[in-house]
Structure 1
Amino acid sequence: MSLNSALSIATSGLANINAQFITMSQNVANVSTPGYTEETTPQQSVTAGGIGMGVRTGITTRATDVALQAELSAQVSNSAGLTVTQAALQAIDGVLGTPGQGDDLPSMVGSLQESFSTLLSDPSNQAQQSAVVNAAGGLAQTVNTISSTITTQRQGVEDDLGVAVDSLNSTLSQIGQLNREIVAGKQAGTSTAGLESQRDGALQTLSGLVSFKALPQQDGSVQLVTASGLTLPTQADGAAFSFQGGAAAPQSYYPDGGLSGIALNGTDVTSALTGGRIGADLTLRDTTLPTAQAQLDEFSYGLANRFSAQGLTLFTDSQGNLPVATGTGGTQTGYVGFSARIQVNPQVSADPSLVRDGTTAIAGSSSGASAFTPNPSGGPAGFSTLISRVLNYTFGDEAQPGVSQPAPASTALGPDGNLSAPSGGVATLSGIATALVSGLSEQSATVTTNLTAANSLQSALSSQLNSTTGVNLDSEMSKMVTLQTAYGANARVLSAVETMFNEILQVVT
């Protein structure tokens, strides 16, 4: 072997070792970087006529597991959506009160019923009459608080949609820019491993916003497609998605009810965006929270009308009006959002004796309550007819003997009549309140349980992906020892070649 050949082998070896050290240092520096995968720099022996001529250093690549990455991406989307849903439902759960502590809706109904029972023993007792009014006021305020919390959470997700759509646009733009740089790098024959790791990090951020599939392309880019087939744009110039936020009042709805959808270059694509933070926000805004509001409105409607049907208009809005179903557009048309306005009838607040005497004459009906005449002015102080009617029928499951109280509506609910809720099949006020509260609490608990499981699965998938494609410090340290040995061997060859060249020069001179 000539000295030139030996020199070429040693220098190519040192160049390869330098490239390996650079890759190794990159791996070690990013061992904790999310989305980073281990990079490797391939090497190949070069021979000519069976004689070694050195080593060729290849283009740095990275470890990948496309299937596992896709599974992790889907789980990140699922966990992100459940996190958003949990926050909204827990806020509502927090104002439902604690069963048995007297501050929950069923307990408030029970307190009102108990106050009537106490009044029945002494109908003329003004303190007990006021106690009934106070108990009714407490029940109305509890309903108001729950309704207000639902509206607050709905407005919160409406506002968050605007922030999430901005993040969606910026993340897609970042992915598009990385796509172009990766394509250019592959065309130039340079390593794109670092850029691909950056893109993986951006794709995981995108997974937290919306569900999609990343389809690798031959040129090195990725195409992003939702489950419905919508291609997510990755252009770098300008925002592709747009969203116009609004006021998420109980009467508001999407579409055509004051709330906007998400548009892609002017075309509504709301239904195509599912999963992640955006999907959860849309479901909460358009289904989950309006349904909870509708159930609460249904309870409030029944509460007010059951009292009025027996001759006591105890619950109204601030103007003293009862909720009335107009029968057009949906079951609840005419009283959507009534739970936010329900209060004790101002007339009764001004004259608590009306809880004994009654406010309204009832003609009677074979399908509803029986006839009733209020206690006239100057009538018996011990008048108990109304109180008995309230206790026997308003709080009971019959409007009169043999006539069942109607159960709350469970279909055609909400401002546009397109919502439905589980039918509890109960007809007493206490039963309806219990079904409502337990349903909302169970919904919140289920989401929390699902989120715990989702986070656990995400963590397991992340660990599995990291063990498959992540950086192993022990392995990197082992490589470093091997490279140090190889460096020493190549350095000794160079030293020997240098010595021999010097000796040749001395002989020549």
Structure 2
Amino acid sequence: MSLRTAGSIAQSALTATQTAITVTSANTANASTDGYTKKTANQSAVTVNGQASGVSVSSVTRDVDEYLLRQVVSSTSSNSQASVLSSYMADVDSAYGTVSGSDSIADVIDTVTSDLSTLASGGGTDTDKSATVTALEDMATTISTASSTIQGLRAQADSDIATDVDAANTAITTIASLNKQIVAAKAAGQSTADLEDQRDSQLKTLSSYLGVSYSVDSTGAMQVSTSSGQVLVGSTAHTLSYTAASSVTADTTYPTGFSAISVDGTDITSTVKTGAIGALVTLRDSTLVDQQTRLDNLASTVISTVNTISNQGTSYPAATSLTGTATVSASDSLSGTGTLRLVAVDGNDDTAAVLDIDMSGLSTVQDLLDTINASGNFTASIDSDGHLTITAADSSDGIAVNEMDSSVGTDGEGASLYFGLNDVLTGTGASDIAVNSAISADASLLPTGTLSSSTDLAVGDTAITSGDVSIISDLESAFTGTQSFSSAGGLAKASTSLAGYASTIISSAANAASAASTKADTASSALDDATTALSSQSGVSLDEETAMVSTLEQAYQAAAKIMSTLQEMFTATIEMVN
């Protein structure tokens, strides 16, 4: 072997070793860098005309177990989904309070029950009426606030979807950009290891937002699609499209109230099941909708129960006027049977005038107005809000109503209930439940007793009495007794008290929050295990890298010694020739 050949071999060894040292140094420096994988400088012998002529670094590669990487990608998606669900369910649980708390939706109902009992046993004092109205207001506010919180969470979920879609799009476009760089580098024979690390990091980020599947072709390009097969990264980036709703109420639903999550015009909303976006869609369109449905079931039952009883009664003293809560117009048809009684009550609580109306003889609301106004003792009209208003013709008299045996409409409601003349609560569900504004302003308007139903009631007879708390007693019985609840929001139909059903809502939410928290912990542990396994396989070991540096330094020194020796031999040869 000539000295020149030997020198060439030694020089290549120096160069290859220097490259290997550089790679090892980079490994050591990035040992704690998230997503960095160990790089290896692969050496191969160089031959010329069949003769060994040195060594070179043929490539710098990384060793990543694809199975472990897929486990990390899948676990990342599951962990994000579980984490989001757990966070939101904790907020739902908090919105309802606790069964043993002092301000839960069950507790405020119990407070109403207690105050009704006090009002009934105390004979209907003004102080007890005021306390009862306050308790009713607290109950309505607590339920409506819980509803508002649920809708606020739905709005937040919708907003979070838009935010996460933007973040997912960043990952999608970055992967597509890295694909181009990797393909170009691979074609040029350059290392793509660091670029692949960056792409894997973006893939994990993308999987945290929605479930994905992926593959890498022979050119080095990665194709990514949703779990359902919608392409996100092909030859180009296919980004998601979404616009958050401007406002969210209980009536806002997908697909009419919320826009679609789409890719290239294809709606993929219903197919996104995992990742943070999948969790948010489930929360917004299912989980939180169920919670609202449960609250509405509670609220509507409370409203119906209270108003059905309160409209059988009257306040003491008699109100100066009665205004209904139902919206009607004079031309509305009115199909009814039985008798509705109106009585003008004087300052001594005696009957000043009586009007018994035969409901079967009326065809429209206008007929009812005409009948009342024709009596000369009462006036009736529809106010600007579409509510029936009735007063005594003599402004010094109050007015009281007794539904008697009247039945109006397809539901067969008493006439007072049909028009809402003595409604204590207003609204149709949890979002708008409230105490009648007139009663909130004047607690004495709370119906406590009943107007005489005697068939021979005449002018001068006692109409109402101050100690009559029969309606309050009926309300107390309704709150302590059993009510029938239809199935709603995943809760089975039930026969329980109003507070009992509220407790069921609370306990169900608490159980769901606990289960979500446990699942989040499990998903987090699974991701940690998968990440640790991948890191152990492809991560950097400082001990190994330190040992490798030592070995390479020795190899470098040996190659350098050979070069030095060869230089001396070259010098000696030249001197011999001269």
Do both proteins adopt the same fold according to a TM-score greater than 0.5, normalized to the shorter chain? yes
Q: Match for 1:483: what amino acid?
A: L
The number of residues matched between the two structures is 467
8 Å CA contact 2:115, 2:132 repeated in 1? yes
Q: 2:487 aligns to what?
A: 409
Which structure 2 residues correspond to residues 43-442 of structure 1 after superposition, within 5 A?
A: 43-46=43-46, 52-233=52-233, 240-246=239-245, 247-256=247-256, 258-312=257-311, 321=325, 338-355=429-446, 357=448, 379-397=464-482, 405-410=483-488, 420-423=489-492, 425-442=494-511
Residue 475 of structure 1 and its aligned partner are, at CA, apart by 0.5
Deviations 1:198-229 (A, max 9, x none): 10111111011111112121221111122212
Q: What's the TM-score, normalizing by structure 2?
A: 0.76
Tell me the percent identity.
Answer: 32
Deviations 1:332-355 (A, max 9, x none): xxx998312111122322442444
Measured in 2, the distance between the counterparts of 1:389 and 1:253 equals 39
Q: Match for 1:426: what amino acid?
A: S
C-alpha spacing 1:99/1:311, structure 2 compared with 1 (3 Å): same
8 Å CA contact 1:59, 1:191 repeated in 2? yes
8 Å CA contact 2:449, 2:468 repeated in 1? no
C-alpha spacing 1:359/1:146, structure 2 compared with 1 (3 Å): farther
Deviations 1:97-143 (A, max 9, x none): 23333211111111111111112211232111111111111111111
Q: Indicate the SS of the match to 1:151.
A: helix
Q: 2:386 aligns to what?
A: none
Measured in 1, the distance between the counterparts of 2:427 and 2:33 equals 50
Deviations 1:15-70 (A, max 9, x none): 11011012112212221222111110111234679975322321111011111111
Measured in 1, the distance between the counterparts of 2:486 and 2:309 equals 18
Q: Indicate the SS of the match to 2:223.
A: strand
Moved more, 48-57 or 134-143: 48-57
Larger strand proportion of the pair: 2
Q: Match for 1:497: what amino acid?
A: L
Q: Match for 2:280: what amino acid?
A: D
Consecutive unaligned residues of structure 2, counting only runs of 5 or more, are: 314-322, 328-408, 412-425, 454-460
8 Å CA contact 1:211, 1:276 repeated in 2? yes
Q: Match for 1:396: what amino acid?
A: G
Measured in 2, the distance between the counterparts of 1:449 and 1:227 equals 25
C-alpha spacing 1:322/1:300, structure 2 compared with 1 (3 Å): farther
Q: Indicate the SS of the match to 1:208.
A: helix
Deviations 1:296-330 (A, max 9, x none): 1111001100112223599xxxx97479x999xxx
Measured in 1, the distance between the counterparts of 2:288 and 2:452 equals 38
Q: What's the TM-score, normalizing by structure 1?
A: 0.85
Q: 1:368 aligns to what?
A: none
Deviations 1:470-490 (A, max 9, x none): 011110000000001101110
Q: 1:457 aligns to what?
A: 526
Measured in 1, the distance between the counterparts of 2:28 and 2:428 equals 58
Measured in 1, the distance between the counterparts of 2:185 and 2:520 equals 40
C-alpha spacing 1:426/1:75, structure 2 compared with 1 (3 Å): farther
Q: 1:5 aligns to what?
A: 5
C-alpha spacing 1:320/1:279, structure 2 compared with 1 (3 Å): farther
Measured in 2, the distance between the counterparts of 1:57 and 1:272 equals 47
